[in-house]
Structure 1
Amino acid sequence: MAKKAENVIVGISIGDLNGIGAEVFLKTFDDARMLEFCTPVVFANVKVLSFIKKTLNLNVNLHGIDSLDQLLIGKVNVLNIWRDTVNIEYGVNNAEVGGYAIKSFTAAVAALKAKQIEVLVTAPINKYNIQSEEFKFPGHTDYLDQQLEGDALMLMVQDNLRIGLLTDHIPVNEVSAHLTEALIRKKVLTINKSLKQDFKINGPKIAVLGVNPHSGDNGVIGREDDDVVKPALKKLFEEGVKVFGPFSADSFFGSGQYEKYDAIVAAYHDQGLIPFKTLSFGSGVNYTAGLDGIRTSPDHGTAYEIAGKGLADNNSFKEAVYLALDIYHNREEYQVLTGNPLRIREKQEEKKYS
């Protein structure tokens, strides 16, 4: 079946099958309108997903395929990447099930690298049960950073709220040791570029939060903000990057200051994620900025406590699909506007034959 230019191939890794990943995927594409502008292909096994669909009493039609050459536009495709029988036990932390989650994820990333899919949406995994001799990464982002070109950066997105992290999945007592001028420079420049090419923002304004309470109070509560953060931001601003800070993190969101900026950079995981999840009300998206491939995911975990009960809210997963599609189209437009000759010719051909 011929592919429309606007119908994007969305690869999906299934996540932990004992969690809610399959449920939020199935609920999202139970709405046939989704297939008008994207075609999903989930990397899993059609018998397993049919079983989960039946237990949740969902009606989405699944099209099983054995290779991506068999993918049908306008269908919910399931690429069979294993033939084993998987014992689904909702809510159970199981290493074997974690192995299938990684098998799905690595196959989907390989397809993204090979341009067989155009964007990737990842369902939640359990970071504990995915560890093995073959996969020794804290999570999705670190593996993507190794496999795709660029520098991965976790960027949490909900409408105009975008929060990036200088450090992500490391212990709090190691944050200061990781903070350097070079790291701050790399992360701010990555966000600045992403705001332009992925979100169509000209001259983006970026705020950076202080590491210590009250940004160190002029060195009274730590020296990191004065000795590391401020010099890095000063150099970037002198180079034309509209970056401001460091701001005291305790009042930045409550006062509404965040609304003045196109992105906020937090020093560590919870400094950024707590206000983000408080403000986004379950509709936030985790976007891996800075890479040549597009990957998004919902902002929640496996939610074992409600798995298999039909209670999972699929809004964040649906928003992750929407954001991946928006970024895909924004990047296409950005490449044309910035003079990529290959994309200009491709766009001319599309217009010629449309």
Structure 2
Amino acid sequence: MNQRKNKPVIGISIGDINGIGAEVTMKALLDNRIQKLITPVIYAHGKAMTFYRKQLEMEDFNFMQIKSIDEVHHKKINLINVVDESPEVLPGVETHEAGRLALAALDHAIQDLKAEKIEALVTAPLNKNNINSEELKFVGHTEYLTAAFEANDSLMFLVSEDIRVGVVTGHIPLKDVAKKVTSENIRKKLNLMLRSLTDDFAISKPKIAVLGLNPHAGEDGLLGDEEINIIQPVIREFKDKGHLVFGPYSADGFFGMMHQKKFDGVLAMYHDQGLIPFKSLAFETGVNFTAGLPIIRTSPDHGTAYNIAGKNMADEGSMRAAILQAYDIIRNKGNWDEEE
């Protein structure tokens, strides 16, 4: 992406307007540090943001509606209406209308990413249920963006200051996990993690821990043989190539002893094995980053939280961290020169 003057433009797709996405976005963007670093563009609808501005008594939150990304104003919070009709906002209620708007916001942002009009995308939480239809099977942001940018593969990478966790298998049923824990898949995810830690996080010689699949990492074959037959050989391959890759470790003992602090990245075998400890340790500051794409995408690590939507109870820490992480990755990848 060509370097330009002004500030990097970061898009924010609003997600489900009946969840906490609008609230955490507004609160995060009121942070003066963020407004000094980036030019935000919210993909949503002005009525929804105005509703929450009044509902949450955030009169100091102001935005400028623009028709397209080409009208972006670098001294304002910009907003693009992604649907023509004014949506009904019902905090805490799952509606098909909110699902349509969430998908429209994501699609509009994707088009601007493809046109290189924005430097990164931060996705606010959405609800898969009200997006899914007979025409579209929406599994998650990660899979949708991977397909949209025709990437061969991607890595769900949960990151925070003291812990970075990626997963070999993501949004699939637990009964299918073992079948997907193959040498090829582990190899792909390790390569993606190594490349991301180097390029996106500016770590010259990353050190990675690989977790086992079975309890106690298989107990030398007593509790499963995937560690012996699949995981260990791949680790040896990477070590032979000079990479700092270690394991397989028993997940419970690894996180129980806080060993994640000794590594730049941790590769878990499946979703909950990695995300439960991550969210336990870094829920308020955690960021979901999709590594391996030709674009930069981050997200807060929480969901729509319907139960507190519209009640001014949502913590914006993860959304703020997601925006700042996107900005840091832009700089680390050399896509921005602050001295211009």
TM-score (structure 1 length as normaliser): 0.91
Which structure ranks higher in relative contact order (CA pairs < 8 Å, sequence separation ≥ 6)?
2
How far 1:4 moved relative to its partner?
A: 6.7
Write the distance in 2 (CA, Å) between the matches of 1:135 and 1:311: 33
Q: Secondary structure of the residue that 2:253 maps to in structure 1?
A: helix
What is the identity, as a one-letter code, of the residue corresponding to 1:325? Answer: Y
What is the identity, as a one-letter code, of the residue corresponding to 1:54? Answer: K
What is the identity, as a one-letter code, of the residue corresponding to 1:223? Answer: D
Q: Secondary structure of the residue that 1:318 maps to in structure 2?
A: helix
Q: Quote the residue 2:181 is aligned against.
A: 179
How far 1:281 moved relative to its partner?
A: 3.9
Superposed CA deviations along residues 69-99 of structure 1, whole A, max 9, x for unmatched, are 1110021000122121211111111122111
* 1:283 paired residue among 285, 298, 301: 285
Q: Secondary structure of the residue that 1:305 maps to in structure 2?
A: helix
In the alignment, does 2:289 pair up with 1:305?
A: no
8 Å contact 1:165–1:268 — kept in the other structure? Answer: yes
1:293-332 map, 5 Å: 293-332=295-334
1:195-214 map, 5 Å: 195-214=197-216
Q: Please provide the CA RMSD for this pair.
A: 1.7
Write the distance in 1 (CA, Å) between the matches of 2:53 and 2:4: 28
What is the identity, as a one-letter code, of the residue corresponding to 1:238? Answer: D
Q: Secondary structure of the residue that 2:166 maps to in structure 1?
A: strand
1:130-169 map, 5 Å: 130-148=131-149, 149-169=151-171
How far 1:207 moved relative to its partner?
A: 0.4
How far 1:30 moved relative to its partner?
A: 2.1
Structure 2 gap segments, 5+ residues each: none
8 Å contact 2:155–2:290 — kept in the other structure? Answer: yes
How far 1:154 moved relative to its partner?
A: 0.5
What is the identity, as a one-letter code, of the residue corresponding to 1:69? Answer: D
Q: Quote the residue 1:66 is aligned against.
A: 67
8 Å contact 2:13–2:43 — kept in the other structure? Answer: yes
Q: Quote the residue 2:266 is aligned against.
A: 264
TM-score (structure 2 length as normaliser): 0.95
Write the distance in 2 (CA, Å) between the matches of 1:124 and 1:164: 19
Give the total of aligned pairs: 336
8 Å contact 1:14–1:101 — kept in the other structure? Answer: yes
What is the identity, as a one-letter code, of the residue corresponding to 1:60? Answer: F
How far 1:132 moved relative to its partner?
A: 2.1
Q: Quote the residue 1:8 is aligned against.
A: 8
Q: Quote the residue 2:19 is aligned against.
A: 19
Write the distance in 2 (CA, Å) between the matches of 1:224 and 1:315: 38
How far 1:26 moved relative to its partner?
A: 0.7
8 Å contact 2:127–2:304 — kept in the other structure? Answer: yes
Q: Quote the residue 2:106 is aligned against.
A: 105
What is the identity, as a one-letter code, of the residue corresponding to 1:294? Answer: I
In the alignment, does 2:198 pair up with 1:191?
A: no
Q: Percent identity?
A: 46
8 Å contact 2:82–2:101 — kept in the other structure? Answer: no
Structure 1 gap segments, 5+ residues each: 334-345
